[in-house]
Structure 1
Amino acid sequence: MATGLFSIGVSGIKVSQMGLLATEHNIVNANTAGYSRQMTVQSTSGAVYTGQGAIGQGVEINTVKRMYDNYLSGHVNSAQSSVGELEALHTQLSQIDNLFADSSAGLSPALQSFFTGVQSVASDPSSAPARQSMVSSAQTLVSRFDQLNTSLSDMSEQINSRIENTVSTINSYAKEIASLNQRIVAAQGAYGQPANDLLDQRDQVINELNKLIKVTPTDNGDGSVNLFFGNGQQLVVGTSAMTLTAQPSQADASRTVVGLQGKNVSLELPESSIVGGELGGLLEFRSGSLDKTKAELGMIATSLALTFNAQHALGQDMLGNIAADGGSLQSDFFTLGTPSVLANAKNTGSGAIAVSFLAPQANASTANDGGFYTNLKLSDYQVKFGAAGAYTITRLSDNEVVATGSGSGTVALPDEGLSFDINAVGAEGDRFVVKPYSNSIDSLAVNSKIVADPKLIAAAAPVRVSQAQANTGNMLIGQGSVGVGYSAASLPQTLTASASSLDGATGSWTATYADGTAVTGSGSIPLSNAGKALDNIEFSGMSFSVSGTPAVGDQFTIARNTNGVQDGRNVLQLANLQTTKTMSGGTASYQSTYSKLVADNGIQTSEAKIRMDAQTAVLDQATASRDSLSAVNLDEEAANLIKYQQAYQAAAKILSVGTTLFDTLLSLKS
């Protein structure tokens, strides 16, 4: 009997001691990150069967169990990955939003100041201070473009650096998880019991990893796990860890991308395969916001330069120079670079491509009243060569093929605002990426000759009309405007009114009448057509409005605009570009395009904040649900200490009773 009492008492002491150890372990790890509360699982020892019945033999510990639920922990990891992604996205978007929405540091004030300077010249074309002010405000505008572009370029460099650092940390975590896999397999294989603390350590590392990139674990059945990311790419397989790389993109060496290291080569991963976590947020920000913002800012600068230069080229400077003279006029007010063409690092051929901007288009108007606009799209382009020199040109924003061809030559794409010069065809499979606006702001500047001498601003129109003092009719012919490619070689011309026509015109002309009918001809210009009065005359790229009725013999002389220093007709057209729809095929102005850019970034930032807050709430809820099962409750553990202490004391009392009984038996024998 004593032997049974002793064995039962000892088993009770052992179990109580194990309970105390587990409780103490919980208490001291209450603040350990990733720790899961542990508890002993006990059962009765096998009974001894006698004729009087089964007699129990005490208690034993089956295992020490951690309070863990795979589903709850998986929910936390998933939410953690989303929060990490949205935090990175919102932080970066906020930088752009703060930069562009700033009322003093944004583009809008500089754009307004520039056109105010243009207006000052339109008000007083002969004023040297006004011309200098226009040049200075133009330089300020260029500087503002440069400042914004530099800030965005700095963000690009920061993204590259953060991608490198994040990839390095991911690799470190992957190696640590693989090492923990090995230790867990060894520990559980040796003792046949769960390696609770090692499992907690691994779960915590996986949780930290999900802050950087979303991973999906799978159980191998031996205690180890595999980790997959993206579209099923392996990151950890058992005790082996794959290695991610941060490397230059094959399509654009200035862009750091993520690769997967193989035996002899690193495979570049598509950005769409990196989702979740800080890395996913950085890549989403770069492709979805930063690249677009930088390109759109460059597109605004490009359209501004092209349309402003196109109108400026139609004017006359204070020295009397005009474009029709063949080069004396400084036609370009702004200087602008050409689109960037990037050869893919895997190209094997000797293909060579150059891309240039097409001249902006003008409104289809017989008045030649400017209204220039570009058809430039917010997109990069890809030129891909096939067999025998065949190629396709694809607009990457929507993957639409915009041109196909074969061999070398020039491909003008008016609907894209670009011209592609295939100087040499590439090998089959060779690719080139065209970034139309990557150089635009870096190369944007005010013409240095105009900066040195503001008299070279082409503020005046190159032609004018005068009427003879002896005229007695009420016909007026406007001062005229010129269009692209105009010629002043036929000037001066004197038109003399007869009863039915204006005589003396040389060369061919187009006359437009009050009902919109256009008539072409040469020689005399009829004053009416089908009862409708003459409304406009156009020849050699020059347009002149007509109103009223002449008297017979009235004369009008169309000539070069000599001594036109007080003429501001062309600079007035330049000022009108501020509100004209100069972009997106004539559907948007500079300011409206920029305002949309600012608004879009603001909306994206707000949406990211809302999503982040919502996902943070989900994470908090998931964490609370997990912690309700796994976290240490110090009040509960304090109660367990008392419980196991009392159980220990009670089991010890059994031994004391057994000893007393044994001594009693011994005393009876004596």
Structure 2
Amino acid sequence: MAGTSLFGIGVSALRAFQSGLDTTGQNIANVNTPYYSRQEAMFEQRPPQFSAAGIYVGSGVDVQDIRRVYDQFVINQVQNGTSTFQQTDTYYSFATQVDNLMADEQAGLTPGLQNFFNAVQEVANDPTSTAARQVLLTEGQSLVSRFRYLQDRLESIRADANGRIAGHVDEINGLADSLARINQDIVIATGRANGKTPNDLLDQRDALLGKLSELVSVRTVEQDDGSLNVFIGNGQALVVGNQANRLSAQPVGIDINEPDISIDINGTLVRITDHITGGKLGGVLAFRGEILDRAENALGRIAAGLAADFNAQHRLGMDLNGALGQGFFQAPAPEVIPATGNAGTPVTVTIADTNQLTLDDYELRYDGANWTFYRVSDNQVVPHTGTGTAANPFVINGIEVVLGGGYAAGDRFLIRPVRQAARDIDTRLTDPREIAAAGAVTADTPVGNIGTGLIGAPVVLDPTNPNLLDNVSITFTSPTTFDVYDNTTATAIATGVAYNPADPADVLAYNGWQVELSGAPATGDTFTVRGNAGGVGDNRNALALAGLQQQALLAGSTATYSDAYNEMIGDVGTSTRRAEITSQAQKKLLDDAIRTREGISGVNLDEEAANLLKFQQAYQAAAQVIATADSLFQTLIDAVRR
């Protein structure tokens, strides 16, 4: 019986050490397999047997389990670190493109603005020069081309970002399907093994979760049956057991060209764009909202502001044909997109004051009783004034909105005041003679005046006034009174107007212009204000146009055009640098987490080689035990046969 018992012990040891060798071999084979967790054979004594001698005798060894060596907390750290690093790295990669584009000393806007205003100054220096005027037209078109080039590049980056979003969503859906299938496999395998964990399947699931974490931040909850539920966003279930909910990258908002992230929950699409964080997808979405949208709006605001301001000043001058100046630029209009299914007519949106424009886009919503403006970036209500009529339009941050009719609750409009302005700006003038370098109105002082009265250069207040260019005489009927007469229409405009010689600047305004009178005119002294036809050498309006470069005409009178552009470059550069630093820091944290995981779950070849030798020797010893048991048994058989 001793031989039989010894034989059983040897066989159990042989099987156990074979499992040890198999496990060690599995570890060595997967030393370079990502997400593989080292395994250990867990040996356990068999229950002892009560012998005929009245004592308990050992019965051998069993492999109680093949243990997967892992730390779930560390695994979660690796997954979270992967998600955070991929987000910041993707954000940095895209931000760098915008930063390099805007800060380019050759292709950026700064040299274009400088060259344009240099050309304006050259016209002011020699308003009679056709060559200087032609250069101004050329530099104007060159500036427009720069705006369009930058806008086109930004739109190209946007197209790339949107394409990445769609691609990442497809990858996420594929991984979600794989996770659902492997969940099912794990549940089945666990059931078949009476609760023993299928280690290799768990490693495969961790690998899938690792790849998913590269794309989006996830939260997991393990179930009693061994399956793992996966959540994204602010708690939306991506995987529940063996079922996967699919993401969509189709437009859900008003803009049909801007993909949103939605999740299909029981056949209903739920928009979760604003809740997606982490991973490459979170990085692209954050870049699009924080840098790209603002960069396009900042560039557009400069284009809209320059066009409006330059046009307004240009219309106050007179060209070489004796005509009032017209718009130099084609001023861009706001982009207005109605929601699909709106009941009412479109709304009309115009830019009323470029100085008050912000970098925000708005969504105008109707609830059946009231209209409300929401800022797109954070969905916060933005206050407005007015009633939306033509006489009293809605006014909000430099734009005016006039409603149409037939609206129903739920009607919405997306309003982008300057998003496409850099693309839509253009030059209107083609004839250099049409550049209005001269002042539209001039003032004359006859040599026969005997007093010391002076009249300043006229300032145009309203270029649309039909009598702006009329010949108007100002005749002093006494040192303290004067009459105003329109010689063109032969109409007395005013008589007996009081004048105070002690006032250093008495302002007089008629027919859309104003002048300053000063000094001590004598009775009978006359001044004339008239249209400046023939004033080819006059450069007053050209000087005013050149002066726009140094005026703070944007962002509530806090920024010049160059200031606004440099601020945009600074903001993008700061965000890019911050993303770079964060990415580097997150990479180090991720590497640390990976090293910690490798220290726990990774395969150490030296250790496995030692285990291999240990189990090999043990296996050989177990074989010797079996051989000894067999020899004893044969001795017993031989003794019985005698």
Q: Which of 252, 256, 264 in structure 2 is aligned with 1:253?
A: 256
CA distance in 2, matches of 1:258, 1:273: 9
CA offsets 1:580-601 (integer angstroms, 9 cap, x no match): 1111232211111111000000
CA distance in 1, matches of 2:179, 2:385: 50
CA contact (8 A) 1:10 1:655 kept: yes
Q: Which SS does the other structure have where 1:378 is aligned?
A: coil
Gapped runs of 5+ residues in structure 1? 323-328, 361-372, 508-520
CA distance in 1, matches of 2:135, 2:256: 41
Q: Are residues 1:29 and 2:34 paired? A: no
Q: Are residues 1:412 and 2:393 paired? A: yes
Q: Which SS does the other structure have where 2:261 is aligned?
A: strand
CA offsets 1:576-629 (integer angstroms, 9 cap, x no match): 111111112322111111110000000000001111111111111111111101
- Aligned residue pair count: 630
User: What is aligned with 1:334?
Assistant: 329
User: What is aligned with 1:523?
Assistant: 495
Identical-pair percentage: 37
Correspondences of 1:490-509 after superposition (within 5 Å) = 491-497=470-476, 500-501=479-480, 503-506=482-485
Q: Which amino acid aligns with 1:469?
A: V
Q: Which of 434, 441, 466 in structure 2 is aligned with 1:456?
A: 434
Judging changes above 3 Å, is the alpha-carbon distance between structure 1 residues 9 and 122 closer, same or farther for their aligned structure 2 residues? Answer: same
Judging changes above 3 Å, is the alpha-carbon distance between structure 1 residues 490 and 89 closer, same or farther for their aligned structure 2 residues? Answer: closer
Correspondences of 1:265-280 after superposition (within 5 Å) = 265=268, 267-280=269-282
Q: Which of 554, 579, 585 in structure 2 is aligned with 1:608?
A: 579
1:556 to partner: Cα distance: 2.2
Judging changes above 3 Å, is the alpha-carbon distance between structure 1 residues 129 and 198 closer, same or farther for their aligned structure 2 residues? Answer: same
Gapped runs of 5+ residues in structure 2? 487-492
CA distance in 2, matches of 1:113, 1:102: 16
CA offsets 1:34-92 (integer angstroms, 9 cap, x no match): 11111100110000134543211111110111111111101100110101111111111
Correspondences of 1:177-196 after superposition (within 5 Å) = 177-192=179-194, 193-196=196-199
Q: Are residues 1:235 and 2:248 paired? A: no
CA offsets 1:432-476 (integer angstroms, 9 cap, x no match): 1111123323321100xx21x110111111111121223344433
1:564 to partner: Cα distance: 0.5
Q: Which of 655, 658, 664 in structure 1 is aligned with 2:626?
A: 655
User: What is aligned with 1:210?
Assistant: 213
Q: Which SS does the other structure have where 1:31 is aligned?
A: coil
CA contact (8 A) 2:365 2:410 kept: yes
CA distance in 2, matches of 1:376, 1:144: 22
Judging changes above 3 Å, is the alpha-carbon distance between structure 1 residues 29 and 395 closer, same or farther for their aligned structure 2 residues? Answer: closer
User: What is aligned with 1:109?
Assistant: 111
Q: Which SS does the other structure have where 2:289 is aligned?
A: helix
CA distance in 2, matches of 1:379, 1:61: 67
CA distance in 2, matches of 1:645, 1:626: 28
Q: Which of 83, 89, 108 in structure 2 is aligned with 1:87?
A: 89
User: What is aligned with 1:392?
Assistant: 372
CA contact (8 A) 1:84 1:212 kept: yes
User: What is aligned with 2:490?
Assistant: none
CA contact (8 A) 1:465 1:556 kept: yes
1:409 to partner: Cα distance: 4.7
Q: Which of 126, 129, 132 in structure 2 is aligned with 1:127?
A: 129
CA distance in 2, matches of 1:348, 1:559: 53
Q: Which SS does the other structure have where 1:558 is aligned?
A: strand
Q: Which SS does the other structure have where 1:583 is aligned?
A: coil
1:395 to partner: Cα distance: 4.4
CA distance in 2, matches of 1:405, 1:469: 54
Q: Which amino acid aligns with 1:492?
A: N
CA distance in 2, matches of 1:407, 1:294: 28
1:477 to partner: Cα distance: 1.6
1:353 to partner: Cα distance: 1.1
Judging changes above 3 Å, is the alpha-carbon distance between structure 1 residues 585 and 415 closer, same or farther for their aligned structure 2 residues? Answer: farther
Judging changes above 3 Å, is the alpha-carbon distance between structure 1 residues 490 and 71 closer, same or farther for their aligned structure 2 residues? Answer: closer
CA distance in 2, matches of 1:159, 1:648: 59
Q: Which amino acid aligns with 1:203?
A: D
Q: Which of 515, 518, 521 in structure 2 is aligned with 1:544?
A: 515
CA contact (8 A) 1:249 1:268 kept: no
Q: Which amino acid aligns with 1:197?
A: D
CA distance in 1, matches of 2:144, 2:474: 46
CA contact (8 A) 2:348 2:402 kept: yes
Judging changes above 3 Å, is the alpha-carbon distance between structure 1 residues 357 and 472 closer, same or farther for their aligned structure 2 residues? Answer: same
Q: Which SS does the other structure have where 1:557 is aligned?
A: strand
1:350 to partner: Cα distance: 2.9
CA distance in 2, matches of 1:616, 1:569: 60
Q: Which amino acid aligns with 2:513?
A: M
CA distance in 1, matches of 2:373, 2:131: 48
User: What is aligned with 1:516?
Assistant: none
Aligned CA RMSD, in angstroms, stands at 2.1
CA distance in 1, matches of 2:387, 2:505: 50
Q: Which amino acid aligns with 2:366?
A: F
Judging changes above 3 Å, is the alpha-carbon distance between structure 1 residues 413 and 594 closer, same or farther for their aligned structure 2 residues? Answer: farther
CA contact (8 A) 2:469 2:532 kept: no
Q: Which amino acid aligns with 1:48?
A: Q
1:417 to partner: Cα distance: 2.0
The TM-score with structure 2 as length reference comes to: 0.94
CA contact (8 A) 2:314 2:327 kept: yes
1:551 to partner: Cα distance: 4.5
User: What is aligned with 2:149?
Assistant: 147
